[in-house]
Structure 1
Amino acid sequence: MSHYELRAASLPRPGQRLALGLLQLFGWRVRYKPLPGPHGVAIVYPHTSNWDFVIGLLGKWALGLPFRWLGKESLFAGPWAGIMRAWGGVAVERSAATGATQRLAEKMHASDWFWLALAPEGTRSYKPHWRSGFYHLALAARVPVVLVYFDYGRKELGVVDVVRLTGDQQADMASIAAAYQGRTGFHPELACPVTLATPRADSPEQQR
């Protein structure tokens, strides 16, 4: 199925139409293709600005899809904990890294619908590579990877391209890099090269 541009007239709920309206007010549009199943990993790139969180959250609300995302444990211990969980937040397991990826994969499949959104750069600052947690999680759970992009040059938020990992890291990352070619972040000079770091631990914390 080809992708399409999200339009308010096609959205069933007022909250979705409001979120899309706010995006459109600032000149943004959302391109979307139905997800390839009830479970998966969505990676978000490029991530170079705090504005990405705002645009991404409005996009999630406009789509009406309960994407989840990983956050520091401290976000889920304070007064904002309830809001963070309501917005789809999942606390990173800092104290029990061993086996965390497998546990997250099992948690994903134990749910009727579980898509986890991750920023593989792990930071808004420039780094020479991506963190590899998303790759190991997708392989462990045997789920597809949706490539979400922020393109500030075109003012587009896209949830379109899908990659099914083969385990051939070089070939998989080449496919991902090709899909992200030409996408421009808020600070283009801070976008990380689309290449993986050597994994150091079996932990989704790498995707923080």
Structure 2
Amino acid sequence: MKRFRGFRPSRLSLQPGRSLRWLAQLLLKIFGWQVEGTVPTEPKWIAIGAYHTSNWDFAVMLLATFSKQLRIYWIGKHSLFRFPFKTMMRWLGGIPIRRDKTYNAVQQVVDEIERHEKLVLVVAPEGTRKATDHWKTGFYYIALNAKIPIGMSYINYERKVLGFGPMLYPTGDIDADFAVLREFYERMSVGRFPEKQGTVQIKAPKAE
């Protein structure tokens, strides 16, 4: 597998300052949202964004992270980082990856993480806003290979809360680790459209 060297997001990215923090806190209050839990202090970790059922999830997440002055990054297809959107995408924390079969997408992200002293990567494991019977496992193997924890962040539209939950340190036993994730998210998270929530389990193997 080839490796694709993307841009280094720390050179150009959105760093929430005091003014942005104050504005985010004000908007959260106006719309009746709260942020609960403690922001992890680990320098590098993956933040799960679940359940992801609406485009509004991204707006709420941004306000919540801005209110905590937390700089976040996300993964995007490399073609999104071309002129004239390249600078804006990098400013917003984008990490470009190639998804061609000749490139190892997980290793590309691991390489980016290893180049930085601090990096919080937000991932929506469902990979879609539609109902799905499994979560994608890329985030898990990124954390496992980069030797960083997974933060169980969640959104709850019933309570209008975005929260920072406990950390999961991948053991390599994906079934056991997903059981921990499943118990937590079924208890703590409610999407805007609950009927579209993805089942917290790995994809079942195809029948031969």
Q: TM-score, normalised by structure 2?
A: 0.84
Q: What displacement does 1:155 show?
A: 0.2
Distance in 2 (CA, whole Å) between partners of 1:97 and 1:128 is 28
Unaligned runs of 5+ in 2: 1-15
- Residue in 1 that maps onto 2:137: 132
Deviations 1:42-62 (A, max 9, x none): 111000000011111111211
3-state SS in 2 of match to 1:112: coil
Give runs of aligned pairs for residues 189-200 of structure 1, distance below 5 A: 189-197=195-203
Note the aligned Cα RMSD (angstroms): 2.1
3-state SS in 1 of match to 2:26: helix
Unaligned runs of 5+ in 1: 1-10, 200-208
Q: Does 1:21 align with 2:15?
A: no
Q: What displacement does 1:108 show?
A: 0.7
Distance in 2 (CA, whole Å) between partners of 1:87 and 1:198 is 34
Deviates more, 1:182-191 or 1:106-115: 106-115
Q: What displacement does 1:122 show?
A: 0.3
User: Which residue among 15, 29, 35 is the counterpart of 1:30?
Assistant: 35
3-state SS in 1 of match to 2:49: strand
Q: Does 1:148 align with 2:153?
A: yes
- Residue in 2 that maps onto 1:103: 108
Q: What displacement does 1:22 show?
A: 0.7
Deviations 1:181-201 (A, max 9, x none): 2321000000011011269xx
Paired residue type of 1:13? R
Q: How many residues align?
A: 190
Q: Flag the 1:181–1:28 CA change in 2: closer, same or farther, 3 A.
A: same
- Residue in 1 that maps onto 2:6: none
Q: What displacement does 1:34 show?
A: 3.1
- Residue in 2 that maps onto 1:41: 46
User: Which residue among 38, 55, 58 is the counterpart of 1:53?
Assistant: 58
3-state SS in 2 of match to 1:107: helix
Distance in 1 (CA, whole Å) between partners of 2:30 and 2:72 is 23
Distance in 1 (CA, whole Å) between partners of 2:24 and 2:139 is 27
Distance in 2 (CA, whole Å) between partners of 1:94 and 1:158 is 31
Q: What displacement does 1:159 show?
A: 1.5
Task: Note if contact 2:48-2:150 (Cα within 8 Å) is conserved in structure 1.
Answer: yes
Task: Note if contact 1:36-1:144 (Cα within 8 Å) is conserved in structure 2.
Answer: no
Deviates more, 1:96-105 or 1:126-135: 96-105
Task: Report runs of 4+ in structure 1 exceeding 6 Å deviation.
Answer: none
Identity of aligned residues (%): 37
3-state SS in 2 of match to 1:56: helix
Deviates more, 1:65-74 or 1:112-121: 65-74
